[in-house]
Amino acid sequence: MCKIFVTKPYLPPQDEYTSQVEKIFQACQLTNQGPRLRELEEKIQSFLKVPHFQYVTNGTIALQLALEALDIREGEIITTPFSYVATTSSILWQRCKPIFVDIEPHNFTIDVSKIEAAITSKTRAIMPVHVFGYACDTEQIENIARKHGLKVIYDAAHAFASVYKGRSLCGYGDVSTLSFHATKLYHTVEGGACIVRDEIVNTKLDLIKRFGHNGNTHLCLGINGKQSEFHAAMGLAIWPHLTEIVQARKRISAEYDELLAGAIGRPMEQKDLLYNYAYYPVLFKNEAQLLRVFAALEKEDIYPRRYFYPSLNTLPYLQEKQHCPVSEDICSRIACLPLYPALAITDVRRIAHIILENL
Ligand SMILES: *Cc1c(COP(=O)(O)O)cnc(C)c1O
């Protein structure tokens, strides 16, 4: 029997990828904003209906580019402890200090009622995460940011194809960043994007991702955040399958819902959100129960993931200990179940059955 992991990268029919690659061989341009990349940018931008969209190397560089383009190189950034490590590491690479504000227990996003108390004279920005594709309270965050003159950068790595209050969940804040890593709902092997509200910031970000120069004129400190034609080609090959990917995830999630209803903790449904089914997080009663179920699943070669673990405020290389009791509790007992289009419904039933037997 094949091993089942928490996710499995989606691959398009091989000929659909090779026909995109053929166009690269004809055009003879491999990178530096080539025709495949520009076509992909246009497709995604019109799908998301956002003003500015830049496809970049990955979701981590996207966060760093966002901070640099907003001139944030020092001071404090308010962020969430419940995310992938890249949310925090991008802040540290930018030589800023992450200030962790605890999460709310229903959808695991930053607790907006606790943000204002964390603001000091050094605060420059708020960096929340639409974790698992659930929406942060964007309205409250916008109000707080406006009142205190702060920038908002959403790590929207999980939010692709989620629609919140009638528009893309990736379109909020001064900048929203995406990841198109192979494990994400929609991917380009490696890849990411910045969605920028302001035209001037957008131009700056575009310059920074290309080493900060136009020809021989060096305008600012830059980095290499450009993406290649081959990555864009994978994105274009997968693009026509996006709806079927989301639908397949929805079907699997509905099956889990039915089989596990009432037996295990789940995030709250958000009424203003058209969910993208990016993940299937479940909340155990305690860590012992989680470990017991994991052990039983592993015996059957099924490997869910502790997502996210540990809580980022406890990272060993942080200079100072900050406490986030809600996040630390959730991290100790949350996991994501296998969810990807190729997962057979019979396997979903098998997984649910093992979970129910071992709770
Ligand atoms: C995947 C992910 C990232 C990093 O994206 P990469 O493309 O892998 O660099 C950042 N934040 C979150 C929340 C993620 O899940």
pLDDT of residue 70: 98
Task: Please report, for residues 98, 101, 153, 244, 254, the alpha-carbon distance to residue 251 in angstroms, rounded to integers and kept in the order given.
Answer: 38, 34, 32, 10, 5
Give, as one character, the DSSP assignment of residue 63.
H
Query: What pLDDT does 148 receive?
Result: 98
Listed in sequence order, the residues at least 6 apart from 192 whose beta carbon sits closer than 8 Å to its beta carbon are 55, 56, 57, 58, 59, 60, 61, 62, 157, 177, 178, 179, 180, 181
Regarding the beta carbon of 83 and ligand 1, being less than 6 Å apart is answered: yes
What is the average pLDDT across 100-109?
98
3-state SS class at 135: coil
Q: What percentage of the chain carries pLDDT values higher than 70?
A: 100
Distance CA 115, CA 25 (A): 51
Helix (H, G, I), strand (E, B) or coil at 5: strand
Cβ count within 10 A of residue 261? 9
pLDDT of residue 242: 98
State what percent of residues in the chain have pLDDT above 90. 99
Distance 58 CA to ligand 1 centre (A): 8
Encode pLDDT of 153-186 as tens digits: 999 999 999 999 999 999 999 999 999 999 999 9
Query: Which mutation among 82, 84, 187, 190 tests ligand 1's pocket best, with the greatest number of atoms within 8 A of CB?
Result: 84
Can you read off the two tokens belonging to residue 307?
């997502």
Identify which of 6, 58, 60 to mutate to test ligand 1's pocket (most ligand atoms within 8 A of the CB): 60
2: burial class by Cβ within 10 Å (0-12, 13-18, 19+)?
Answer: exposed
pTM for the model stands at: 0.98
Cβ–ligand 1 contact at 171 (below 6 Å):
no
- Residue 237 binned pLDDT confidence (cut-offs 50, 70, 90): very high
pLDDT tier for residue 2 given thresholds of 50, 70 and 90:
confident
Residue 232: pLDDT band by 50, 70, 90 thresholds? Answer: very high
Contacts of 78 (CB under 8 A, 6+ apart): 99, 101, 110, 115, 118, 119, 123, 125, 126, 127, 150
Give backbone dihedrals phi and psi of 180, rounded to 5 degrees, phi first: -115, 40
**Which pLDDT score is estimated for 171?**
96
- Cα separation, 81 vs 326, whole angstroms: 10
All structural domains of the chain, each given as residue ranges with its CATH number in brackets, are: 14-101+109-239 (3.40.640.10), 242-357 (3.90.1150.10)
DSSP 3-state of 245: helix
pLDDT in tens, 193-209: 999 999 999 999 999 99
pLDDT given at position 226: 98
C-alpha closest to that of 84 among 28, 131, 26:
131
pLDDT of residue 312: 98
Q: What is the mean pLDDT of the chain?
A: 98
On the question of pLDDT at 233 being above 80, the answer is yes
